[in-house]
Amino acid sequence: MRFDRRSVGAMATVGIVLMTGCGDSATTPDSVATSGGTDAVAGGTQTDRSGLVDIGNGRQLFMECRGTGAPTVVLVTGLGERAGNWSTTTTPDEPGVFPAVAAFSRVCAYDRPGTATQSASGWDMTASTAVPQPITPAAAAADLHALLQASGEAGPYVFVGHSLGGPIVRYYAGEYPSTVAGVVLDDALSEHLADPLTPEQLAHFEQINSPEVQGRPPGAETFEYPTLVEQMQAAGPMPDVPMIILTADTWSLTPEAIASGALPDFVDQEFSDALWSAQLAAQDELAATYPDAEHITDTDATHYIHVEQPQLVVDAIRDVRG
């Protein structure tokens, strides 16, 4: 599914982890057949799958996989996004990341609990079993590990994390380093984002990522930034694997968007400038944490690089796969 770039909307660019505006493709229906891991990899084969996977403790997560080849690429969405977001693109002549990667590799995407798709008829919640919110990088990484184990999708894996998916991928890599073959961070949320912000600005950042402000449904995925910072500071070291960091170079919260009246009153030019400056500094700090990583800042994209410039993300995946 393709969307005009303008349809991403002002609200999707206010916060670094916002999810409204991009939408998902029709590849992740709620009414899907349950499929176990052995169905996908029986006899060493890799077949298409789209359904719920039992991860234990009475819980299931939606997972979609296509293509063949190793290492398997695992796509981890940003806040509130379902797997189909990786099939979305604003580029008329290019496929989304998920189908493009499926043409040369095994690729999987999944729905975390509380993720949803917005359409003209309202919100379509994921079929993944609901959990108490907010989530944390540690809990989300544990879920991802359980999903990969239960699904039978063989490692090692190349992980691609967008926005909130970035800390989840990084935490996972510190916990299960032997399963990681490469990492791509797609404008990933950094624990250094708040470093230059005032307490009031940080509170506003968290507020614009709340379901109440974004109009998301009850049970929607949320997170608490201070907890994320604490967990990322305690996370294990990343394994020595190929890594590419992609950073958005365009801030869409323009003076016109601010003046439109569609945003909360506290989103003024001063706040916008502070948040954009903090994001760029946080991305540089993230890159400095991994000096062997390639840091690509010429992306011609806003926060959703994989939607606006899918080929750039696909090329990064190819590079880290080797």
Q: Kindly list the averaged pLDDT for each block of 10 residues, start to end, along the chain of length 322.
A: 35 40 38 36 71 97 97 98 96 93 98 93 94 97 98 97 98 98 98 96 93 90 97 97 98 87 90 96 97 97 97 98 91
pLDDT of residue 137: 98
pLDDT at 44: 52
What is the domain partition of the chain in residue ranges? 5-321
- Closest to 189 measured CA to CA, from 259, 118, 115, 286: 286
| Structure confidence at residue 254 (pLDDT) | 83
Q: How far apart are CA 312 and CA 281, in angstroms?
A: 22
Provide CATH code, domain 5-321: 3.40.50.1820
Tell me the pairing of strands 59-66 and 49-56. Answer: antiparallel
Residue with tokens 């080929």: 311
Q: What is the pLDDT of residue 181?
A: 98
Where does residue 80 fall: left (phi above 0), alpha (psi -120 to 50 degrees), or beta otherwise? left
Distance (Å, rounded) from C-alpha 173 to C-alpha 167? 10
pLDDT at 31: 30
- Residue 74 three-state SS: strand
